[in-house]
Amino acid sequence: MPNNYDGLVWREEERKEVYKCRVFSVYESLCRSPDKKRMGVFMALDAADWTIVAPVLEKDGRRFFVMVRQWRHGAQELSLEFPGGVLEADEDSSQAALRELEEETAYTAQKITKLGEMSPNPAIMNNRVHFFLAEDLSPLPSQHLDEDEFVDMELVPIEEVMENMGKKPYTHALMGTALALWRQNHEAPPH
Amino acid sequence: MPNNYDGLVWREEERKEVYKCRVFSVYESLCRSPDKKRMGVFMALDAADWTIVAPVLEKDGRRFFVMVRQWRHGAQELSLEFPGGVLEADEDSSQAALRELEEETAYTAQKITKLGEMSPNPAIMNNRVHFFLAEDLSPLPSQHLDEDEFVDMELVPIEEVMENMGKKPYTHALMGTALALWRQNHEAPPH
């Protein structure tokens, strides 16, 4: 296997914003090919980082994920997910994870552990998604939702999520990523 | 738990395209809130569906994933991934999975099994990503890459991917999803 990847690396020479809204902007990235022979124009989105947090609640001898059911405007469907959202300007990713957990689920956590940081879509997005585990949970008086947020909190047995990821209502692909990272950190290594 | 989710469902009343390029278009979705009291404007991307295929190769008594290393223009980094790509207009998702496997890795497969279909990002994208397993692999003479594709094929032991998802170079979040679905289909259910 090669240990030098120069033959794969493109060099960005120019970047032009072509569209902007409050959620993201779109830019053209003009890049020189690895063999230097041609230029390519690639479209991508500039967006703030996101956080996704898998909260584990122990109750009556069972383990549950604390999840949220909400309408998703891109897919035009309901989705049952781990809580999460966009990092605010002054936040680090673990602060954002705790804030989103509290606002969306009305639980807080004593313990927040980073599970990983990935690109939600490295082909067309320049941001990162930060995955966390939340433990030692305790209830708060209520959710704190924005006026355009309608979110149900649900306790879902961990086995149910592990068996049904990829089927409705577990259709948000990045929740599958969070589950993979949680399993990687909480199960014996494969043999 | 509620079994009626009317209180979460938004109704789209109008959709306006605001930007278009060859990879996607951006639209505003004007929606009425679940309580009917207000309108919201949500931004989303219209894009073709994608496929991702996890190819498993048995060799010398070990199991490997057939993976591809390539430059990703959004993240501006190299990423080691399962093969995949955009569905062409006349393709179903399993045809696209086999085509991408053949073009990017120079392997073909006798057996293609669907692992799941999800939304890559239901908040801001309206497309789906179709996950497959490819088995009974055999080599082809060569890759068939577009002139702007520079892709290395690598055989990676399955355990290595399972232990390192989320760390460089395994930073493409949707590959974590593929791994979660593969594990779900190929390991005994949790207890």
Angle between the B173-186 and A173-186 helix axes, to the nearest 10 degrees?
Answer: 70
Joined together, the tokens standing for residue B45 give 């991307």
Instruction: Say if residue B126's pLDDT is above 70.
Output: yes
State the pTM of this model: 0.95
Give counts: helices (H), strands (E), chain B. Answer: 3, 10
Assign B191 a pLDDT band (cuts: 50, 70, 90).
very low
Cβ separation of A119 and B177 shorter than 8 Å?
no
Instruction: Tell me: do A79 and A95 sit in the same domain.
Output: yes
Could you tell me the CATH number of the domain that includes residue B78?
3.90.79.10
What average pLDDT does the segment B58-84 reach?
Answer: 97
Closest CA to B69 of A34, A31, A115: A34
Asked whether residue B20 is domain-assigned, the answer is yes
Tens of pLDDT along A5-17? 999 999 999 999 9
User: If you ran DSSP here, which 8-state letter would residue A179 be given?
Assistant: H
Asked whether residue B1 is domain-assigned, the answer is no
Measured between CB atoms, which of B18, B117, B174 is closest to A121? B174
A 69-88 near B (Cβ less than 8 A): 69-79
Instruction: Tell me: do A22 and A61 sit in the same domain.
Output: no
Say what percent of chain B tops pLDDT 70: 96
Asked whether residue B19 is domain-assigned, the answer is yes
Asked whether residue A39 is domain-assigned, the answer is yes
A179 contacts A165 by C-beta, under 8 angstroms: yes
- Rounded to 5°, the CA angle B169-B55-A170 comes to 80
Helix, strand, coil percentages for chain A (3-state, nearest 5): 20, 45, 35
A172 contacts A82 by C-beta, under 8 angstroms: no
Residue with tokens 């209520």: A142
User: If you ran DSSP here, which 8-state letter would residue A87 be given?
Assistant: P
Instruction: Say if residue A191's pLDDT is above 60.
Output: no
Cβ separation of B8 and A129 shorter than 8 Å?
no
Tens of pLDDT along B138-186? 999 999 998 888 999 999 999 999 999 999 999 999 999 999 999 999 8
B62: helix, coil or strand?
strand
Instruction: Tell me: do A15 and A81 sit in the same domain.
Output: no
What average pLDDT does the segment A120-146 reach?
Answer: 96
B129 contacts B120 by C-beta, under 8 angstroms: yes
Tens of pLDDT along A22-33? 999 999 999 999
Asked whether residue A1 is domain-assigned, the answer is no
Instruction: Tell me: do B35 and B113 sit in the same domain.
Output: no
What's the number of domains chain B is made of? 2
Assign B190 a pLDDT band (cuts: 50, 70, 90).
low
Q: List the domain range (segments joined by +) for residue A77.
A: 50-186
Which residues of chain A are within 8 Å of residue B151 when distances are taken between CB atoms? 8
Instruction: Tell me: do A14 and A99 sit in the same domain.
Output: no
- For residue B3, the model assigns a pLDDT of 63
Asked whether residue B106 is domain-assigned, the answer is yes
B 79-138 near A (Cβ less than 8 A): 79, 115-126, 129, 131
Asked whether residue A191 is domain-assigned, the answer is no
Assign B2 a pLDDT band (cuts: 50, 70, 90).
low
| Interface check A157 vs B, CB under 8 A | no
Instruction: Tell me: do A29 and A68 sit in the same domain.
Output: no
Tens of pLDDT along A157-184? 999 999 999 999 999 999 999 999 999 9
